[in-house]
Structure 1
Amino acid sequence: MIRRNIVVRIAIIILAPISLYYFGGALWYSSLTILGFFTITAFVSVAGISIVALRLDEDNSLFNVIIGLLFSFYAVQYLGTSIMGIYYQQTPEQLLTVTRLFYQVISITILSILSLAGIISKIHGLKRKKSIASVGVLITVIILLISLAYSFIFSIGNSNEFGSVLSNVAAILSILLFLLSAGASVRYRNRISGVDFFRFSAANMIFLVSVIPLSFIVDGSMQYWTLSLSLQGTGLFILYLSIMIPWLTSKGLKLGIAYVNASLPIFVVLIPYLAVIALQIILPVDILIDTGAYLIAHLGAASLSAVMAYLIKVYSDIKPNENQAPLIFMFASWAIVNLAEVIESLAIGLESGESIIPYIIGSFVTATMLVALIRRLKHKNVKEHIKPTWWLVLGIVHTLALILVGEYIQFIVMGQIPGLQRTPVSRSVLLAFNLVNMALFVYVASTLTVRDQKRISVETLAVWLLTLWIVPNVMKSIFLAWTIGWWVAEVFMAMGLALGPALLGYQYVQAISEAEASDRKASLFADILMHDVSNYQQAMKTSLELATFESIHDEIRQERIDNALDALNESERLVSNLRKLISAQSMKHANLQPTNLQRVLKRAATIAKSSTDRKPEIQLPEKASECFVLANELLIDVFLNLFLNAIESSDDSPRIEVDIHAITSNMQSFWRVEVADFGRGIKPSRKEDLFRRFMEGAKGTGLGLSLVKALVESYGGEVSVRDRVPRSFSKGTKFVLDLRRTEPK
Structure 2
Amino acid sequence: MYSLVGTRRDIAKVLLIVPLTLGSTLLAIGGVSIVSLSHATRVGVHTLLAYWASIPAAAVIVTLFRRFSRARMILASAFLLVVVSNVERALRHIVPVTEVPAQIHDGMLVAQQFGLMLVVLLLVVASVTRDEPQDSLSRGYSRVFGLATTLTPLVVYVYVDCFVASEPSPLATAIGIVACAVAVSGLLVMPRLAYRLRREYLPLDCGYFVTACVLLIGSSLLLTESFITSSLLWIYAENLQTAALLLFGVSLGVPLLRRTGYGRRASYGMVVFLALSAYLPLLVTTILESASRTEPFEAGNVLAYAIVHVGMASLSAIMAALLTVYSRVRPSRTQYPLSMVFIVWTGVAFISIVPAFTASPIPLGTSNAPYLVGSIVTLFFLYLVHKWYWENNSASLVMSPRRFLASASLVLLAVGVAEGMNQIIWAYGLIQHGNLIGNRMLLGFNSLVMFGIAYLVFMLSSSNADAVPFESFITGFLVVWIVPYTLKSYYLPFTPGWWVSELVMFLGLLTGPALVGFLYMRAMQQAEESHKRAAMYADLLMHDITNHNQITLTTLELLSSESMNSDTRERLLRDARHAVSMADQLIGNVRLLNDTEIWQRLTETRTDLVSEVVHALDTVMQNLSIPGLVINISTETSRAYVLGNNLLRAAILNLLYTAVELPRETEEMWISVVPIVAMGRDWWQVKLEIPKTRMNTGLMTSPDPETVTHGRSSLGFLVAKIVVNQLGGYMENGLGSRDDFGVVSYIALNLPICH
TM-score w.r.t. the length of structure 1 is 0.68
- Against the structure 1 CA distance between its residues 470 and 714, is the aligned structure 2 distance closer, same or farther, given a 3 Å change threshold? same
Query: C-alpha offsets along residues 501-554 of structure 1, whole Å, 9 cap, x if unaligned?
Result: 1121222234345556767887999999999999x99xx99xx9xxxxxxxxxx
* Corresponding residue of 2:75: 67
Choose from 148, 163, 180 the match for 2:162. 148
The answer on 1:508 being equivalent to 2:520 is yes
Query: C-alpha offsets along residues 468-490 of structure 1, whole Å, 9 cap, x if unaligned?
Result: 11111111112222122222222
Map residues 66-215 of structure 1 onto 2, 5 A cutoff. 66-88=74-96, 94-97=102-105, 101-125=106-130, 136=149, 137-138=151-152, 140-152=154-166, 154=167, 163=169, 165-192=170-197, 193=199, 194=202, 196=205, 199-215=208-224
Measured on the aligned residues, the alpha-carbon RMSD in Å equals 5.3
CA–CA separation in structure 2 for the residues paired with 1:628 and 1:641:
12
Q: What amino acid does structure 2 have at the position aligned with 1:37? A: V
* Corresponding residue of 1:629: 700
Q: CA deviation at 1:442?
A: 0.9
Map residues 359-508 of structure 1 onto 2, 5 A cutoff. 359-384=371-396, 387=399, 389-390=401-402, 392-415=404-427, 417-418=429-430, 420-421=432-433, 423-508=435-520
Q: What amino acid does structure 1 have at the position aligned with 2:237? A: S
Choose from 349, 374, 389 the match for 1:338. 349
Query: C-alpha offsets along residues 232-287 of structure 1, whole Å, 9 cap, x if unaligned?
Result: 33333334445444544444445554444334312211011122234556796732
CA–CA separation in structure 1 for the residues paired with 2:462 and 2:404:
28
CA–CA separation in structure 2 for the residues paired with 1:345 and 1:37:
31
User: Contact between 1:62 and 1:118, CA under 8 Å: does it hold in 2?
Assistant: no
CA–CA separation in structure 1 for the residues paired with 2:481 and 2:26:
28
Query: C-alpha offsets along residues 57-87 of structure 1, whole Å, 9 cap, x if unaligned?
Result: 2454443343333333332332222222222
Query: Secondary structure of 2:701's match?
Result: strand
Q: CA deviation at 1:29?
A: 3.1
Q: CA deviation at 1:581?
A: 6.7
User: Contact between 2:457 and 2:475, CA under 8 Å: does it hold in 1?
Assistant: yes
* Corresponding residue of 2:245: 236
CA–CA separation in structure 2 for the residues paired with 1:629 and 1:532:
21
- Against the structure 1 CA distance between its residues 469 and 78, is the aligned structure 2 distance closer, same or farther, given a 3 Å change threshold? same
The answer on 1:8 being equivalent to 2:16 is no
Query: C-alpha offsets along residues 318-359 of structure 1, whole Å, 9 cap, x if unaligned?
Result: 222111111122222222222222344323478542522222
Q: Which runs of 5+ in 2 are unaligned?
A: 133-140, 557-577, 600-646, 665-691, 724-746, 751-755
Q: CA deviation at 1:386?
A: 6.4
- Against the structure 1 CA distance between its residues 455 and 521, is the aligned structure 2 distance closer, same or farther, given a 3 Å change threshold? closer
Map residues 563-582 of structure 1 onto 2, 5 A cutoff. none
CA–CA separation in structure 1 for the residues paired with 2:448 and 2:433:
25
- Against the structure 1 CA distance between its residues 91 and 230, is the aligned structure 2 distance closer, same or farther, given a 3 Å change threshold? farther
* Corresponding residue of 1:324: 335
Q: What amino acid does structure 1 have at the position aligned with 2:162? A: L
Q: Which moved further from structure 2: 443-452 or 578-587?
A: 578-587
Map residues 43-54 of structure 1 onto 2, 5 A cutoff. 43-54=51-62
CA–CA separation in structure 2 for the residues paired with 1:353 and 1:117:
43
CA–CA separation in structure 2 for the residues paired with 1:131 and 1:85:
34
Q: What amino acid does structure 2 have at the position aligned with 1:29? A: L
Q: Which moved further from structure 2: 423-432 or 515-524?
A: 515-524
The answer on 1:310 being equivalent to 2:324 is no
User: Contact between 2:257 and 2:462, CA under 8 Å: does it hold in 1?
Assistant: yes
Q: What amino acid does structure 1 have at the position aligned with 2:128? A: I
Q: What amino acid does structure 1 have at the position aligned with 2:221? A: I
TM-score w.r.t. the length of structure 2 is 0.68
Q: CA deviation at 1:226?
A: 0.9
* Corresponding residue of 1:672: none
Q: CA deviation at 1:421?
A: 5.0
- Against the structure 1 CA distance between its residues 102 and 92, is the aligned structure 2 distance closer, same or farther, given a 3 Å change threshold? farther
CA–CA separation in structure 2 for the residues paired with 1:66 and 1:222:
34
Q: CA deviation at 1:420?
A: 2.3
Q: CA deviation at 1:129?
A: 6.1
* Corresponding residue of 1:686: none
Choose from 268, 272, 280 the match for 2:281. 272
CA–CA separation in structure 2 for the residues paired with 1:531 and 1:131:
58
CA–CA separation in structure 1 for the residues paired with 2:709 and 2:658:
10
Q: CA deviation at 1:173?
A: 1.6
* Corresponding residue of 2:42: 34
Q: CA deviation at 1:369?
A: 0.7
CA–CA separation in structure 1 for the residues paired with 2:22 and 2:526:
47
CA–CA separation in structure 1 for the residues paired with 2:434 and 2:708:
76
User: Contact between 1:595 and 1:631, CA under 8 Å: does it hold in 2?
Assistant: no
Q: Which moved further from structure 2: 507-516 or 467-476?
A: 507-516
Query: Secondary structure of 1:444's match?
Result: helix
- Against the structure 1 CA distance between its residues 523 and 351, is the aligned structure 2 distance closer, same or farther, given a 3 Å change threshold? same
Q: Which runs of 5+ in 1 are unaligned?
A: 155-159, 545-568, 607-620, 643-703, 716-741
User: Contact between 1:207 and 1:232, CA under 8 Å: does it hold in 2?
Assistant: yes
CA–CA separation in structure 1 for the residues paired with 2:54 and 2:584:
54
Q: What amino acid does structure 1 have at the position aligned with 2:84? A: V
Query: Secondary structure of 1:475's match?
Result: helix
Q: What amino acid does structure 1 have at the position aligned with 2:155? A: V
CA–CA separation in structure 2 for the residues paired with 1:517 and 1:260:
25
Q: CA deviation at 1:188?
A: 4.4
Q: What amino acid does structure 2 have at the position aligned with 1:57? A: F
- Against the structure 1 CA distance between its residues 512 and 110, is the aligned structure 2 distance closer, same or farther, given a 3 Å change threshold? closer
Q: What amino acid does structure 2 have at the position aligned with 1:224? A: L
Q: What amino acid does structure 2 have at the position aligned with 1:508? A: Y
CA–CA separation in structure 2 for the residues paired with 1:211 and 1:580:
56
CA–CA separation in structure 2 for the residues paired with 1:219 and 1:66:
31
Choose from 331, 347, 357 the match for 2:358. 347
CA–CA separation in structure 2 for the residues paired with 1:429 and 1:20:
32
- Against the structure 1 CA distance between its residues 318 and 186, is the aligned structure 2 distance closer, same or farther, given a 3 Å change threshold? closer
User: Contact between 1:249 and 1:258, CA under 8 Å: does it hold in 2?
Assistant: yes
User: Contact between 1:171 and 1:211, CA under 8 Å: does it hold in 2?
Assistant: no
- Against the structure 1 CA distance between its residues 4 and 580, is the aligned structure 2 distance closer, same or farther, given a 3 Å change threshold? closer
CA–CA separation in structure 2 for the residues paired with 1:401 and 1:276:
34
Q: CA deviation at 1:303?
A: 1.8
State percent identity of aligned pairs.
21
CA–CA separation in structure 2 for the residues paired with 1:125 and 1:403:
49
User: Contact between 2:79 and 2:119, CA under 8 Å: does it hold in 1?
Assistant: no
Query: C-alpha offsets along residues 270-325 of structure 1, whole Å, 9 cap, x if unaligned?
Result: 01112223455679673224322322222222222222212222222222211111
User: Contact between 1:31 and 1:90, CA under 8 Å: does it hold in 2?
Assistant: no
User: Contact between 1:304 and 1:498, CA under 8 Å: does it hold in 2?
Assistant: yes
- Against the structure 1 CA distance between its residues 116 and 76, is the aligned structure 2 distance closer, same or farther, given a 3 Å change threshold? closer
The answer on 1:294 being equivalent to 2:308 is no
CA–CA separation in structure 2 for the residues paired with 1:40 and 1:50:
15
Q: What amino acid does structure 2 have at the position aligned with 1:450? A: S
Q: Which moved further from structure 2: 569-578 or 318-327?
A: 569-578
- Against the structure 1 CA distance between its residues 511 and 133, is the aligned structure 2 distance closer, same or farther, given a 3 Å change threshold? closer
